[in-house]
């Protein structure tokens, strides 16, 4: 696929993110499809951070390794990333950062170019961006307009002017031999949104009518807390940063009982603290949505690194038996629509619904088609009709589906009692044998209804060759990687599981049965999707491809890891 891959690298605090933000937004506004990933450490200053900005005239689903342009904000960045620079690529840096690097592809900019007001570390990013934009054939006006629109209001007028003058001077200083026009034109499409995975989820929650959200800051879930908190005053969402994740989910369950659409979010360690309250939502039959933005574990693990190792945990967290659903968006768009659907499933089945993403998905910024709120429906499930007088609600009346109509306390004349103990039809605790059997069976009947609603995996590419089974962020690189493998003559398809639990045996068997070989590709060592599949459906996969170093799957990783496993069948 025709694309360019740019890497911006430097230490924390050097402005890698701001420069990448300007570049990504500029390319988006020019009409390109953009896919950006961030690789950073859990520190405020120093270390090594980099961002990949890949763009094309066609939609992009993942990052790639070979670098066409490297923008190095310090000397270390040259050492780290030069090995991945393509033969006809260019490395751009300031003269003082070149060290003793000798490379024909290196272009070092003298500090003397540009106005004296634009000397120093704060201007390195914009100067390197000007070199890049000139090298790929844009006039300096493009970058100047972008800086003005994105930073014009935040910068002092004289600082803004120094930036604009520096862009102009650097552009003029570029050697004509280094200037090329892009091999592809901007896409002729409607306006795109340039969003992270977590922003997609947060906006889906807003579309679904979320009213209360609670969390405690933890990478990579914090951006959902941030987004909903920012949207709260305008959209009418009460967002609370609670004392711990135990409070977060208990708060959300309380809010849902009182009638709001409510959610709590965290990462794996926070999920450990939420586990007891997942069971509380189960036995009180309270609809609640829980977001698990996974990162490397166990325990604190690697704070800013990705992993997909919470799957079996999320399917089983909390003791006892109760119905739940576990969903995972694969592509950015899914985050919006699946988050909205999660609330409907929760309300319809009066049960916790867990929405899982992972850091690779949460932080990746991608251009997507504008979401369509008209495709979102709101289904609050069974609600008891209002009584004439104040009356105790038979909140847990056994029904065929297992779902009993609920009501919102104080907003209605129903008196609504729910209990964390086993309870009878009116929510009163009891350990009576017949009641236990009746209520336990009622709650678990919901599982059958949920199973019937669960779609099977989406199959993309060849269904009758080697099928690569995935969920979450692995889907993007697999879709591009499988295409590359097909271009090489391999018979390869991808099965994307968005609805992970409970599993619908018939639909999954029908989708997987044409395949000759099933391989799971996941960010975990144990092949958790394969294990879940075997447990839930009896279907056994033939192998597992793992990546647990905390770094994202690139398209190149996928091809390198999978090609040797294809065993020469062409």
Partner 1 sequence: MKSPNDYDHFAPEWCPGCGNFDILVALKQALYDLKIESNELILVTGIGQASKIGFTIKCNLFDGLHGRALPAALGIRLANHTAKVVSISGDGCFFAEGGNHFIHTMRRNADITVLAGVNRVFGLTKGQAAPTSAHDYKTKIHLDGTGAEPLNVCRLALVAGATFIARGFSGEQTQLTELIKQALTHRGAAVIDIKSPCVSFNKINTYAWFKQRVQPLGEDHDVTDWNAAMRAAEETEERIPTGVIYRVERPVFGDHLRALQDGPIARRTTDFTPERVRPFFAQFK
Q: Which of 43, 428, 488, 534 touches partner 1 by CB under 8 A? A: 428
Nearer to partner 1, 96 or 369 (CB): 369
> Are the beta carbons of 325 and 353 closer than 8 angstroms?
yes
Q: Which of 12, 106, 160, 238 touches partner 1 by CB under 8 A? A: 238
Q: Which of 276, 422, 425, 536 touches partner 1 by CB under 8 A? A: 276
Q: How many CB atoms sit inside 10 A of residue 508's CB?
A: 22
CB of 167 to partner 1, least distance (A): 23
> Are the beta carbons of 264 and 214 closer than 8 angstroms?
yes
| Among the listed residues 385, 103, 263, the one whose alpha carbon sits nearest the alpha carbon of residue 93 | 103
Q: Which of 81, 144, 192, 295 touches partner 1 by CB under 8 A? A: 192
Nearer to partner 1, 22 or 562 (CB): 22
CB of 324 to partner 1, least distance (A): 17
Q: How far apart are CA 109 and CA 131, in angstroms?
A: 9
CB of 390 to partner 1, least distance (A): 5
Q: Which of 12, 160, 193, 460 touches partner 1 by CB under 8 A? A: 193
What are 171's two structure tokens?
A: 């552009």
Go through 246-258 and write b for each residue having 16 or more CB atoms within 10 A of its CB, e for each that does not.
bbbbbbbbbbbbe
> Are the beta carbons of 101 and 519 closer than 8 angstroms?
no
> Hey, which residues between 439 and 498 contact partner 1 (CB under 8 A)?
none
- Packing angle between helix 197-208 and helix 222-235, nearest 10 degrees? 40
Q: How far apart are CA 466 and CA 477, in angstroms?
A: 16
Query: Which H helix or E strand runs over 239?
Result: strand 238-241
Q: Which of 93, 170, 207, 331 touches partner 1 by CB under 8 A? A: 207
CB of 407 to partner 1, least distance (A): 10
> Hey, which residues between 363 and 422 contact partner 1 (CB under 8 A)?
370-371, 373-374, 376-378, 380, 390, 392, 408-421
Q: How far apart are CA 117 and CA 119, in angstroms?
A: 6
Question: Does residue 277 bind partner 1 (CB under 8 A)?
Answer: yes
CB of 258 to partner 1, least distance (A): 4
Q: Which of 27, 239, 328, 403 touches partner 1 by CB under 8 A? A: 239
Nearer to partner 1, 115 or 209 (CB): 209
Question: Does residue 191 bind partner 1 (CB under 8 A)?
Answer: yes
CB of 186 to partner 1, least distance (A): 15
> Hey, which residues between 307 and 346 contact partner 1 (CB under 8 A)?
340
CB of 394 to partner 1, least distance (A): 14
- Packing angle between helix 124-135 and helix 16-29, nearest 10 degrees? 30
**What does 371-411 look like in DSSP terms, one character per residue?**
P-GGG-------BPPPPSS-EE--TT---SSS---B--TTT
Q: Which of 46, 99, 137, 236 touches partner 1 by CB under 8 A? A: 236
Question: Does residue 92 bind partner 1 (CB under 8 A)?
Answer: no
Altogether, the residues listed in the chain come to a count of 570
Q: How many CB atoms sit inside 10 A of residue 435's CB?
A: 18
Greatest Cα pair distance, the chain, in angstroms, is: 86
CB of 346 to partner 1, least distance (A): 13
> Are the beta carbons of 57 and 27 closer than 8 angstroms?
no
Strands 365-369 and 67-72: unpaired
Nearer to partner 1, 117 or 415 (CB): 415
Nearer to partner 1, 228 or 555 (CB): 228
Question: Does residue 301 bind partner 1 (CB under 8 A)?
Answer: no
| Among the listed residues 228, 257, 259, 258, the one whose alpha carbon sits nearest the alpha carbon of residue 241 | 228
Q: How far apart are CA 224 and CA 226, in angstroms?
A: 5
Q: Name the segment binding partner 1 (CB under 8 A); options: 7-15, 265-273, 274-282, 506-514.
A: 274-282
Question: Does residue 259 bind partner 1 (CB under 8 A)?
Answer: yes
Question: Does residue 250 bind partner 1 (CB under 8 A)?
Answer: yes
Nearer to partner 1, 238 or 459 (CB): 238
Nearer to partner 1, 276 or 458 (CB): 276
Binding marks (x or -) toward partner 1, 121..160, rule CB under 8 A? ----------------------------------------
CB of 148 to partner 1, least distance (A): 16
Nearer to partner 1, 193 or 312 (CB): 193
Beta-carbon-side half-sphere exposure of residue 184 (alpha carbons within 13 Å): 17
| Among the listed residues 268, 315, 294, 201, the one whose alpha carbon sits nearest the alpha carbon of residue 523 | 294
What stretches of 115-244 show up as alpha helix (H) in DSSP?
Answer: 124-135, 140-151, 157-173, 197-208, 222-235
CB of 174 to partner 1, least distance (A): 30
Q: How far apart are CA 570 and CA 491, in angstroms?
A: 6
Count interface residues toward partner 1 (CB under 8 A): 77
Cα angle at 282 between 278 and 287, to 5 degrees? Answer: 90
Q: Which of 126, 131, 253, 364 touches partner 1 by CB under 8 A? A: 253
Binding marks (x or -) toward partner 1, 216..235, rule CB under 8 A? ---------------xxxxx
């Amino acid at each position: 696929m025709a694309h360019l891959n740019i890497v911006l690298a430097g230490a924390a605090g050097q402005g890698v993110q701001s420069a990448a933000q300007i570049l990504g937004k500029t390319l988006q506004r020019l009409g390109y499809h953009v896919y950006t990933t961030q690789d950073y450490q859990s520190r405020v200053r120093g270390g090594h951070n980099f961002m990949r900005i890949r763009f094309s005239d066609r939609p992009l689903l993942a990052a790639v390794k070979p670098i066409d342009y490297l923008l190095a904000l310090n000397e270390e960045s040259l050492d780290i990333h030069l090995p991945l620079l393509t033969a006809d690529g260019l490395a751009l840096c300031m003269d003082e950062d070149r060290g003793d690097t000798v490379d024909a592809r290196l272009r070092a900019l003298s500090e003397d170019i540009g106005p004296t007001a634009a000397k120093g570390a704060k201007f390195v990013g914009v100067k390197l961006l000007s070199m890049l934009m000139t090298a790929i054939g844009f006039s300096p006006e493009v970058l100047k307009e972008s800086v003005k629109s994105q930073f014009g209001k935040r910068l002092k007028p004289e600082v803004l002017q120094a930036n604009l003058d520096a862009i102009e001077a650097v552009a003029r200083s570029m050697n004509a031999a280094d200037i090329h026009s892009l091999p592809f034109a901007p896409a002729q499409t409607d306006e795109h949104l340039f969003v992270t995975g977590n922003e997609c989820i947060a906006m889906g929650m807003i579309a679904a009518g979320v009213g209360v959200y609670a969390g405690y800051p933890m990478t990579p879930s914090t951006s959902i807390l941030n987004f909903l908190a920012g949207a709260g005053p305008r959209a009418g969402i009460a967002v609370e940063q609670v004392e711990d994740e135990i409070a977060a989910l208990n708060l959300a369950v309380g809010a849902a009982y009182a009638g709001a659409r409510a959610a709590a979010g965290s990462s794996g360690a926070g999920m450990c603290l939420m586990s007891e309250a997942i069971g509380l939502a189960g036995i009180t039959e309270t609809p609640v949505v829980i977001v698990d933005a996974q990162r490397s574990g166990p325990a604190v693990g690697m704070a800013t690194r990705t992993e997909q190792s919470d799957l079996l945990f999320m399917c089983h967290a909390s003791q006892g038996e109760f119905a739940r659903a576990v969903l995972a968006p694969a592509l950015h768009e899914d985050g919006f629509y699946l988050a909205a659907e999660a609330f409907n499933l929760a309300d319809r089945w009066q049960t916790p619904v867990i929405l899982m993403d992972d850091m690779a998905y949460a932080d990746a910024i991608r251009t997507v088609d504008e979401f369509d709120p008209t495709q979102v429906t709101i289904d609050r499930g069974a609600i008891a009709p209002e009584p004439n007088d104040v009356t105790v609600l038979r909140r847990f009346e056994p029904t065929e589906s297992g779902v009993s109509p609920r009501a919102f306390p104080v907003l209605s004349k129903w008196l609504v009692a729910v209990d964390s103990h086993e309870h009878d039809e009116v929510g009163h605790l009891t350990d009576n044998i017949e009641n236990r059997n009746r209520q336990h069976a009622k709650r678990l009947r919901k599982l059958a209804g949920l199973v019937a609603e669960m779609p099977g995996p989406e199959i993309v590419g060849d269904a009758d060759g080697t099928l690569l089974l995935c969920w979450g962020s692995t889907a993007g690189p697999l879709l591009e990687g499988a295409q590359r493998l097909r271009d090489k003559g391999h018979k390869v398809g991808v099965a994307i599981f968005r609805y992970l639990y409970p599993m619908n045996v018939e639909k999954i068997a029908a989708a997987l049965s044409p395949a000759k070989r099933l391989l799971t590709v996941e960010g975990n060592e144990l092949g958790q999707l394969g294990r879940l599949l075997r447990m839930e459906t009896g279907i056994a996969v033939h192998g597992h491809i793992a990546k647990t170093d905390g770094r994202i799957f690139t398209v190149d990783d996928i091809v390198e890891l999978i090609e040797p496993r294809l065993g020469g069948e062409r």
